[in-house]
Structure 1
Amino acid sequence: MTSSPVSSLPRKAPVYGLDAVRLLAAVLVVVYHLGFKVWAIEGSMLNAALGAVIAYPPGWQLSWCGWVGVQVFFVVSGAVIAYSAQGVSARSFAKRRAARLLPALLIACAIAFPVAVLVFAVPPGQAAWLALKTLTFMPWGPWIIGQFWTIPVELCFYAVIWAMLASGRAARGMQALAWGLGLASAGYWTAVATGLLAGGGRLTELLLFQHGGYFAIGMLCARLGNGDLRRRHLVLALACVTAAALQVREAASWEMAGRADLAGRWPLAYGIWLAITALVALSFLYRDAIAVRAKRFSGALRLAGLSTYPLYLIHIHVGGAILLAAAPLGPVPAFLGAMAGSLLASLAIAAWLEPPLHVVVRAAIGQVGRRAMALPRLRAG
């Protein structure tokens, strides 16, 4: 069966390739934290608990740059939101995002709190405060889940999309937003690269200057599924991939915490990001062909995609606790056990624990929405 680049399926047909990409991105991050950072980066939470340093743990040639999975997540988020928000009301969009984010976060915090206290020796009062900051989506850290820093960045992107939907200008606004995010991010990183600005800072993350190019290129990938990508969009794509190169180079120095020997290898991390981003684009370009071939595995693919968010949230506390317990066996057995435990726990959360919580969260959101809508009528009466 031949495939056409422009999908003949409904506009919101499942994009099964993204589920595989999500899982790959999450695994990259987990491999970095549990296979490299815990052993090689002094001062990290897990390394402090481990109390040992291996400058070059087994498999370091690939594991050291697994942090680039975060950049992949931003691309996927831009693509998914641009694709799924078409024709959706602002209220429906907000409900869906809340129902997607909250259940796994509740479970992850319930896991993280006792592990932080009992394994990482965080004082209970401090752990409770960090958990509260996490559950209330405080944009400034620290949080009980360190990698949570990306979620407020995502929320800022969602907020812009919601505002467009609420204004009724989403159709035209989406394209303008992609251009704005991409060019602003390219300009920001060019200024950093030329010394006009100092890179970093939480505010520039929340304002989407640092990662806006990733969201923008994801939005361009989503357009491939509808066949409406034009030549002018190549200019935007070039700006985004240039911004990504500059951002990855800077991120390499941040992540390596003074490891100049590895920070200088940033082109490898960038190449991995570029290759996986190409997979995101292909997932939309050949959406129909992939859907036909993946039909018998659609349930497994969907579960894999749903498990990536819990995996991202829990792997430090679940996998880290296993790794610390198994550390006397050596880095390889400890890492494999931590990986297996993290994956199994995330699958269990996605398959059994999240679904009933989704129902509860959706009902609660609906009730809040109905009460909010009833207030004006009560005041008028």
Structure 2
Amino acid sequence: MRFARRGQLDGGRTAVRQQSVPAPRLYVLDGLRLLAALMVVAFHYTALRGGWGRPAREVFPHLETVTRYGWTGVEVFFLISGFVICMSTWGRRLGDFVVSRACRIYPAYWVAVLLTAGVVALWPQVRSVKNWDVVLTNLTMLQQGMGVWDVDGVYWTLFAELKFYVLFAIVVATGVTYRKCVLFCGLWTAAAVIAPSAHIKLLDIWAMPLFSPYFVAGIAFYLMHRFKPTALLWGIVGMSLLLALHGVPKRVADNADGVVPSWPATLIVVVAFVLMALIANGALNWVQWRWLATAGALTYPLYLLHQYIGMTIIYGLRDRVPAPLLVGALMVVMLGAAWLLHRCVEQPFGKRLRTALRNGIEEMRRESVVPDGGRGRTPAALRDSLPLLKEPRLYDQAEPDRVGAATKADGA
């Protein structure tokens, strides 16, 4: 998407209007997100001991040398998330942002928590349910903040996403602009650099030094996409890449079973940044394969369902089905389950939740009248006088339609 300024001089008065120029739908983001999800799935199924009961390198001696780096799909998720969240919040109010995020992440998550808890409760060979209070706490998606273990191992990334949403909500509350996004990137980067040596736990929790460079770079890439590449934005991306690469060795050590080289993970991160740069500058707009929109919609439910349910299935069938066939068939089954979760839960319940929350937000706005500043004005007049309560301009309201399926890529 690009924005063109069209002005006309009329009797000495300049009328400059910013109008949107429709751009190709960003199908490529859906495809990249699905690829990242499959990387994580492959990592859990072929590079971890999981349900195999022995080191995965003994089961997949050649494949494991590649899939052991599949965890980098999480970094790709965060990179895409920075891009898409900035894109989908432009011209929106804080309440709209909260509603869109809640409706996107919670319905499928609630069902996935209950399904995973049910499976590991019935077949606790891979993971067990300590108590159902843990399961209920997981339904909030805030369990990590309260020191409660995750029902499924992949949920830790959702808490990182939530922290990003909370931080970026500050920008949304004041109105998303180019300047504020750049300022946000600078402040968050500074906090992430200071956090490791400051030894302040609260700062470290919110600054997320290992992951903030990906979110920040994603925001900068979107600014390139919406406006144009500049030295400032390339500087933000370059700094973020260097900080991200600094954290790669630690991520390798945290995810490897033994000592493994870190250069493949470094290469994957660099390639991800290059791909996002191409997307931001329109080089991949030619990718217009509509099936990618459907594929991208499966990413979040696939991510939620696959780990412990999949590992439990592996445990039960590992002695009866050849390992390669078992993993391949399991991936297909999980994609089918993700499609069902998307069609039967995300779409219908997401719409109902969106309607209910929007009604609640509108009720709050109607009842939130400022008595001192109103001076007898009607609620409509008050709303027009308060920037945060104004409706977005027309070219901003069109933004969700232009971004298309790409706005679905910000789930996990």
**TM-score w.r.t. structure 1 length?**
0.82
| Contact 2:224/2:230 (8 A) holds in 1 | no
1:289 alignment counterpart = 285
Q: Percent sequence identity over matched residues?
A: 22
Partner of 1:240: 240
Q: How does 1:219-298 map to 2 (within 5 A)?
A: 219-257=219-257, 259-260=258-259, 262=260, 265-286=261-282, 289-290=285-286, 293-294=287-288, 297-298=289-290
Q: CA deviation at 1:374?
A: 5.4
Q: Could you say what secondary structure the match of 2:230 adopts? A: coil
- Kept in 2, the 8 Å contact 1:36–1:57? The answer is no
**Separation (CA, whole Å) in 1 of partners of 2:202 and 2:116:** 24
Deviations 1:300-342 (A, max 9, x none): 2111111111111110133223322221123222222222221
Amino acid corresponding to residue 34 of structure 1 in structure 2: Y
Matched, 1:338 2:349: no
CA separation of 1:281 and 1:210: change in aligned 2, threshold 3 A: same
Q: Decide which of 111, 117, 122 is 1:118's aligned counterpart.
A: 122
Q: Deviations along 1:63-100, whole A, 9 cap, x unmatched?
A: 10100110111100001011121111111111111111
Give the TM-score normalised by structure 2. Answer: 0.77
Counterparts in 2 of 1:354 and 1:280: CA distance versus 1, 3 Å = same
- What are the residue-to-residue correspondences of 1:9-48 with 2, within 5 Å? 10=21, 14-37=25-48, 39=49, 46-47=50-51
Answering whether residue 169 of structure 2 is matched by residue 167 of structure 1, we say no
User: Displacement of 1:209 after TM fit?
Assistant: 2.8
Give the counterpart of 1:148 among 152, 155, 168: 155
Equivalent position SS for 1:362? helix
Residue among 336, 352, 368 paired with 1:360: 352
Instruction: Give the Å deviation of 1:6.
Output: 5.7
Q: Which has the higher contact order (CA 8 A, sep 6+)?
A: 2
Query: How far apart are the structure 1 equivalents of 2:228 and 2:305?
Result: 38
In 2, distance between residues paired with 1:12 and 1:240? 27
Structure 2 segments unaligned to the other structure (5+ residues): 5-19, 373-412
Conservation of the 8 A alpha-carbon contact between 1:252 and 1:266:
yes
- Preserved CA contact (<8 Å) 2:104 2:346: no
Q: What is the CA distance between 1:226 and its match in structure 2?
A: 2.2
Query: Matches of residues 294-305 of structure 1 in structure 2 within 5 Å?
Result: 294=288, 297-298=289-290, 300-305=291-296
Please name the residue that 1:43 is paired with. none
- Rounded to whole Å, the distance in 1 between the matches of 2:131 and 2:119 is 10
User: In 2, are the aligned partners of 1:16 and 1:301 still within 8 Å (CA)?
Assistant: yes
- Is 1:102 aligned with 2:106? yes
Equivalence for 1:178: 185
Deviation at 1:366, TM superposition (A): 2.3
Residues of 2 paired with 1:7 and 1:35: CA distance?
Answer: 45
What is the CA-CA distance between 1:370 and the residue it aligns to?
A: 4.0
Give CA deviations for 1:98-145 in whole Å, capped at 9, x if unaligned. 111011102211311211201226666x35223222211213341112
- Describe the SS at the equivalent of 1:34: helix
Cα distance between partner residues in 2 of 1:160 and 1:14:
28
| Larger helix percent | 1
Whole-Å separation in 2 of the counterparts to 1:184 and 1:266: 26
- Matched AA of 1:224: M
Summarize the alignment of residues 191-206 of structure 1 with structure 2, pairs less than 5 Å apart: 204-206=204-206
Deviation at 1:232, TM superposition (A): 2.5
Distance 2:329 2:263 in 1: 30
Assess if the C-alpha contact under 8 Å between 1:108 and 1:314 holds in 2. Answer: yes
TM-aligned CA distance change 1:35 to 1:7, over 3 Å: farther
Question: Which protein is bigger by CA-based radius of gyration?
Answer: 2
8 Å Cα contact 2:192-2:204 kept in structure 1 = no
The CA RMSD measured in Å over matched residues stands at 2.9
- Which residue does the alignment assign to 2:207? 207
Contact 2:302 2:334 in 1 (8 A): yes
1:323/1:337 contact within 8 Å kept:
no
Q: Deviations over 1:217-249 (max 9, x none)?
A: 111111222243211333222221111111111
Q: Which amino acid in 2 is paired with 1:207?
A: A
Matches of 1:341 and 1:127 in 2, distance apart? 28
In structure 2, distance between residues paired with 1:202 and 1:376: 32
Measured after TM superposition, the shift of residue 31 of structure 1 is: 0.5
Amino acid at match of 2:54: A
- Assess, with a 3 A threshold, how the Cα gap between structure 1 residues 91 and 14 changes in structure 2: closer, same or farther: farther
Question: Aligned partners of 1:283, 1:320: CA distance in 2, in Å?
Answer: 35
Where 1:286 maps in the other structure, the secondary structure is: coil
Aligned-residue offset at 1:281: 2.3
State the partner residue of 2:300.
Answer: 309
Q: Which residue of structure 2 lines up, in the alignment, with residue 81 of structure 1?
A: 85
Unaligned runs of 5+ in 1: 40-45
What does 1:51-62 correspond to in 2, within 5 Å?
A: 51-58=53-60, 59-62=63-66
